[in-house]
Amino acid sequence: MLVRQYPESLQRTGKSGMTDKKTRVYLVEDHTIVRAGLVALLQTAADLEVIGEAADGRTAVAEIEELKPDVVLCDLALPGLSGLDVIQRVVKESGGPRVIVLTMHHDHVWVQRAVEAGASGYVLKGSGVQDVLNAVRAVASGEEFLSPRAQLESQVEPLSPREREVLTLLAEGHRSREIGDILEISSRTAEHHRARIMRKLGINDVAGLVRYAIRNGLVDENLK
């Protein structure tokens, strides 16, 4: 769904007479009110310009390729394609712009996934407006940016790919012996992985692991 495209980037002239190109920003956010607020915020900055916006992932990928923004602000939960898929396609596959994730998901799993997909920044929607502006400017200049809460989460010891597999199977209701059969490991090794996962996440029971897995998108939220 096409939302809006903006005119080509304007330029501003400083006191020195040199012409500086504005940082061209593209927004990907499915909530109209949030998107409008971001547009209003970014337009208050003389050095930034919103050149387009989309409410779904597929439209965003197509328009980003056409408009070639400098920075993309992208939510994770999107219709069509997820935010992680958008990042993967525009950064790793197309060598496109730098991407900042703007999301409500603060868990270290999401921070890790976003960075692995190619994101250069991660800002929580509960952050101050200055964090958003700082993130865009930092990322546009080639730096990385994590908002304070995301930075704390990124320091949590992440789960290994095997541990994520075990956690997913646990959350789906499989016992250690079944997990061992599925992953071709011993039930004892499966139990060792479960203990390590609990220690890393600070969770003491399987019910807590199930809630964690659902909250972080490892299993269907409608899982019974």
Residue 221 domain-assigned (yes or no): no
pLDDT at 95: 76
- State whether 64 and 114 are in the same domain: yes
- 8 Å CB contact between 83 and 29: no
Q: The pTM is what?
A: 0.65
Give domain status of residue 127, yes or no.
Answer: yes
Among residues 115, 130, 154, the one where a domain terminates is 154
In 3D space, the residue among 31, 28, 32, 24 whose CA is nearest the CA of residue 6 turns out to be 24
Shared-domain flag, residues 62 and 173: no
* Residue 107 domain flag: yes
- Does one domain contain both 88 and 128? yes
Kindly report each contact of residues 1-4 with a partner whose C-beta sits within 8 Å and lies 24 or more positions away, as own/partner.
1/54, 1/55, 1/56, 1/59, 2/54, 2/59, 2/63, 3/35, 3/52, 3/53, 3/54, 3/55, 3/59, 4/52, 4/53
pLDDT for res 96? 80
Give the pLDDT of residue 113.
85
pLDDT of residue 157: 65
Q: What is the pLDDT of residue 42?
A: 95
Residues 71 and 103 in one domain: yes
Same domain as 8, residue 59: yes
CATH number at residue 184: 1.10.10.10
Whether residue 224 lies inside any domain: the answer is no
Which pLDDT score is estimated for 14? 41
Question: Within this chain, do residues 110 and 165 fall inside the same structural domain, yes or no?
Answer: no
Q: Which domain holds residue 201?
A: 161-215
Instruction: Please tell me the predicted confidence (pLDDT) of residue 155.
Output: 58
Q: What is the mean pLDDT of each run of 10 residues along the chain (224 residues)?
A: 42 43 95 94 95 96 94 94 93 85 84 88 89 94 84 66 91 93 94 90 85 75 54
Residues 136, 166, single domain; the answer is no
